[in-house]
Structure 1
Amino acid sequence: MISNQILQNTIDGLKNIAHVELCVLDVDGKEVASTLAEAADVSVSAREFVASPADSQEIQGQQYFKIYDEQQLEYILIARGSGENIYMLGKMIAFQLQSLLVAYKERFDKDNFIKNLLLDNLLLVDIYSRAKKLHIQSDSPRVTMIMESDNGRDAGALELTRTHIGSTGDDFVTEVDEDNVIIVKDVSSLDTPQEISKFAAGLASELEKEGLKGVRIAVGTTVKEIKEVSRSYKEAKMALDVGKIFFEGRKVISYGELGIGRLIYQLPIPLCKMFIKEIFGGKNPDDFDEETLVTIDKFFENNLNVSETSRQLFIHRNTLVYRLDKLQKSTGLDLRVFEDAITFKIALMVVKYMKYMEKFEY
Structure 2
Amino acid sequence: MISNQILQSTLDGLKQITRVDMCVVDTEGVMLASTFGEEADFRDAVVSFENSPAESQVISNYQFFKVLDEGHLEYVLIASGNSDDVYTTGKLTAFQLQCLLVAYKERFDKDNFIKNLLLDNLLLVDIYNRAKKLHIDTESRRVVYILEPEGDGEAAGLEEIRGLLGARSGDFITEIDEKSIIIVKEILLSDGPKELNEYALEMLDALPQEKRATAIIAYGTVVGELKDVSRSYKEARMALNVGKIFFEEKHVIAYSRLGIGRLIYQLPIPLCKMFIREVFDGKSPDEFDEETLTTINKFFENSLNVSETSRQLYIHRNTLVYRLDKLQKQTGLDLRIFDDAITLKIALMVVKYMKHMEKSPDY
Q: Same fold per TM (> 0.5)?
A: yes
The equivalent residue for 1:147 is 147
Aligned-residue sequence identity (percent) comes to 64
Residue 152 of structure 1 and its aligned partner are, at CA, apart by: 5.4
1:142-181 aligned at under 5 Å gives the runs 142-150=142-150, 154=154, 156-181=156-181
1:38-91 Cα offsets, whole Å, 9 max, x none, are 354443333333222222233333322211112222111121122322221111
> Partners of 2:123 and 2:350 in 1: how far apart?
38
> Partners of 2:186 and 2:295 in 1: how far apart?
45
Residue 22 of structure 1 and its aligned partner are, at CA, apart by: 0.6
The reply to whether residue 108 of structure 1 matches residue 113 of structure 2 is no
User: Which stretch of the first structure deviates more once superposed, 28-37 or 246-255?
Assistant: 28-37
The equivalent residue for 1:199 is 199
Q: Secondary structure at the match of 1:182?
A: strand
The equivalent residue for 2:276 is 276
Q: Secondary structure at the match of 1:76?
A: strand
State whether residues 167 and 173 of structure 2, in contact with CA within 8 Å, keep that contact through their aligned partners in structure 1. Answer: no
State whether residues 265 and 353 of structure 2, in contact with CA within 8 Å, keep that contact through their aligned partners in structure 1. Answer: yes
CA 1:305–1:155 in 2, change beyond 3 Å: closer, same or farther? closer
Aligned length: 362
> Partners of 1:333 and 1:39 in 2: how far apart?
79
Residue 170 of structure 1 and its aligned partner are, at CA, apart by: 1.4
1:10-44 Cα offsets, whole Å, 9 max, x none, are 21221122100112222333333222123544433
Residue 258 of structure 1 and its aligned partner are, at CA, apart by: 0.6
Question: Letter of the aligned partner of 1:350 in structure 2?
Answer: V
The equivalent residue for 1:5 is 5
Q: Secondary structure at the match of 1:20?
A: coil
The reply to whether residue 349 of structure 1 matches residue 340 of structure 2 is no
State whether residues 208 and 215 of structure 1, in contact with CA within 8 Å, keep that contact through their aligned partners in structure 2. Answer: no
State whether residues 146 and 181 of structure 1, in contact with CA within 8 Å, keep that contact through their aligned partners in structure 2. Answer: yes
State whether residues 155 and 178 of structure 2, in contact with CA within 8 Å, keep that contact through their aligned partners in structure 1. Answer: no
Residue 214 of structure 1 and its aligned partner are, at CA, apart by: 0.5
Residue 211 of structure 1 and its aligned partner are, at CA, apart by: 4.0
> Partners of 2:222 and 2:296 in 1: how far apart?
36
State whether residues 155 and 181 of structure 2, in contact with CA within 8 Å, keep that contact through their aligned partners in structure 1. Answer: no
Q: Secondary structure at the match of 2:207?
A: helix
The equivalent residue for 1:17 is 17
The equivalent residue for 1:59 is 59
Question: Letter of the aligned partner of 1:105 in structure 2?
Answer: K
> Partners of 1:307 and 1:42 in 2: how far apart?
84
1:1-362 aligned at under 5 Å gives the runs 1-150=1-150, 154=154, 156-188=156-188, 191-209=191-209, 211-360=211-360
> Partners of 2:311 and 2:153 in 1: how far apart?
46
> Partners of 2:138 and 2:166 in 1: how far apart?
20
> Partners of 1:116 and 1:320 in 2: how far apart?
55
Question: Letter of the aligned partner of 1:113 in structure 2?
Answer: F
CA 1:95–1:161 in 2, change beyond 3 Å: closer, same or farther? same
* Structure 1: runs of 5+ lacking an equivalent: none
> Partners of 2:211 and 2:299 in 1: how far apart?
38
Q: Secondary structure at the match of 1:204?
A: helix
> Partners of 2:343 and 2:154 in 1: how far apart?
43
TM-score, structure 1 normalization? 0.94
Residue 257 of structure 1 and its aligned partner are, at CA, apart by: 0.6
> Partners of 2:11 and 2:152 in 1: how far apart?
33
> Partners of 1:229 and 1:357 in 2: how far apart?
28
Q: Secondary structure at the match of 2:7?
A: helix
* Structure 2: runs of 5+ lacking an equivalent: none
State whether residues 155 and 212 of structure 1, in contact with CA within 8 Å, keep that contact through their aligned partners in structure 2. Answer: no
State whether residues 215 and 251 of structure 2, in contact with CA within 8 Å, keep that contact through their aligned partners in structure 1. Answer: yes
> Partners of 1:229 and 1:15 in 2: how far apart?
44
> Partners of 2:149 and 2:119 in 1: how far apart?
22
State whether residues 56 and 66 of structure 1, in contact with CA within 8 Å, keep that contact through their aligned partners in structure 2. Answer: yes
> Partners of 2:252 and 2:151 in 1: how far apart?
17
> Partners of 1:335 and 1:102 in 2: how far apart?
65
> Partners of 2:177 and 2:76 in 1: how far apart?
36
Residue 314 of structure 1 and its aligned partner are, at CA, apart by: 1.8
State whether residues 216 and 252 of structure 1, in contact with CA within 8 Å, keep that contact through their aligned partners in structure 2. Answer: yes
User: Which stretch of the first structure deviates more once superposed, 56-65 or 119-128?
Assistant: 56-65
> Partners of 1:7 and 1:132 in 2: how far apart?
30
Question: Letter of the aligned partner of 1:251 in structure 2?
Answer: H
CA 1:314–1:25 in 2, change beyond 3 Å: closer, same or farther? closer
> Partners of 1:269 and 1:336 in 2: how far apart?
29
Question: Letter of the aligned partner of 2:113 in structure 1?
Answer: F
Question: Letter of the aligned partner of 2:296 in structure 1?
Answer: I
1:251-284 Cα offsets, whole Å, 9 max, x none, are 1001111111111111111111111111111111
Question: Letter of the aligned partner of 2:164 in structure 1?
Answer: H
RMSD (CA atoms): 1.9
State whether residues 79 and 90 of structure 1, in contact with CA within 8 Å, keep that contact through their aligned partners in structure 2. Answer: yes
Question: Letter of the aligned partner of 1:52 in structure 2?
Answer: S
> Partners of 1:29 and 1:314 in 2: how far apart?
77
Residue 6 of structure 1 and its aligned partner are, at CA, apart by: 2.4
Residue 307 of structure 1 and its aligned partner are, at CA, apart by: 1.5
Question: Letter of the aligned partner of 1:91 in structure 2?
Answer: K
